[in-house]
Structure 1
Amino acid sequence: MDPNITVVTLGVSDLDESIRFYRDGLGFPLRDRDPDSDIAFFTLDGTWLALYPWDALAEDATVPPEAVSSPAERDFSGVTIAHNVSEKSDVDAALETAEAAGGEIVKPAQEVFWGGYSGYFADPDGHLWEVAYPKLTDD
């Protein structure tokens, strides 16, 4: 298998809300889509991000959707998405942007054990994003 990830699909509880979060709040470029479509694609550098209704994605994968009343009640899925930035200050700026867009700061930006600086936010469905400055040299 060629180790090339081309699409990351997130199950979402409200497609329109999630489109607004990623497009309007975070500035991700939304590909043209039919307004009645039940999927949205964002073209990112090197891959695509897809949003698809949570229950439909679970059905497609033939797994139970874990019926819960809110995204915050879902168990940790064991998956995070990372976004690396080139400046330490960009971590704080990205977390502020995510929070202003409706995301929740899960772990404020801080120096981390591996020598970098990072923090986490959750999107409206609880998907965890790490924003990291991977300190590669002595600053």
Structure 2
Amino acid sequence: MEQRLSFVTLAVRDVAAARAFYVDGLGWQPTYDGEDVLMVQVGERLVLSLWDLAAFEAEVGPAAEGPAPITLAHNVATREEVATVMAQMVAAGARRLSGPEEREWGGFTGYVADPDGYRWEIAWNPGPLGQQVLPAGQEVRP
């Protein structure tokens, strides 16, 4: 099997609220915008799918209570961008959870929760992996 991830699907209570946060608040562009699902291309071959909870459960089965114990991460090129992106997400309707702060592994991160409680890490990672996940043309800067 080829090593890759194609979709990350999150079951959401209200697709309109998810749209208000991700599209209206953060300015992300939908790839597909339906009544029960909103899809956003978030990488070269990666789609974030925000699927109405009832429709999700009809196909996948019962969802666990509360947000899944995962984080989604958005890496940035500079330490300063961590606070900027966190502020933008909070202004769009996210809840600040922690940080930004220095991490013992050498990075600088903070956490917010989207309207459904899914946790987003906003991170500046000065190491090689931090460079690897940034879009082409960007580079990690101190």
Task: Tell me how far 1:41 sits from its aligned partner.
Answer: 0.7
Partner of 1:81: 72
> Does structure 2 conserve the Cα–Cα contact (< 8 Å) formed by 1:112 and 1:118?
yes
Partner of 1:71: none
Where does the alignment leave 5 or more consecutive residues of structure 2 unmatched?
A: 129-140
2:110 counterpart of 1:111? no
Task: Tell me how far 1:61 sits from its aligned partner.
Answer: 2.1
2:12 counterpart of 1:12? yes
Task: Tell me how far 1:18 sits from its aligned partner.
Answer: 0.6
Provide the TM-score with structure 2 as the length reference: 0.82
Q: How many residues align?
A: 129
Identity over aligned pairs, percent: 31
Where does the alignment leave 5 or more consecutive residues of structure 1 unmatched?
A: 67-73
- Paired with 1:118 and 1:87, the residues of 2 have a C-alpha distance of 11
SS in structure 1 at match of 2:126: coil
Task: Tell me how far 1:129 sits from its aligned partner.
Answer: 0.5
Partner of 1:133: 124
Structure-2 change in CA distance of 1:82 and 1:31 (3 Å): same
Instruction: Deviation per CA, 1:53-85: give whole Å up to 9, x if none.
Output: 12332342223453xxxxxxx2x5221101111
- Matched to 1:106, the amino acid is L
- Paired with 2:105 and 2:122, the residues of 1 have a C-alpha distance of 14
- Matched to 2:15, the amino acid is L
SS in structure 2 at match of 1:115: coil
Partner of 2:134: none
Provide the TM-score with structure 1 as the length reference: 0.84
SS in structure 2 at match of 1:16: helix
Task: Tell me how far 1:30 sits from its aligned partner.
Answer: 1.0
- Matched to 1:50, the amino acid is S
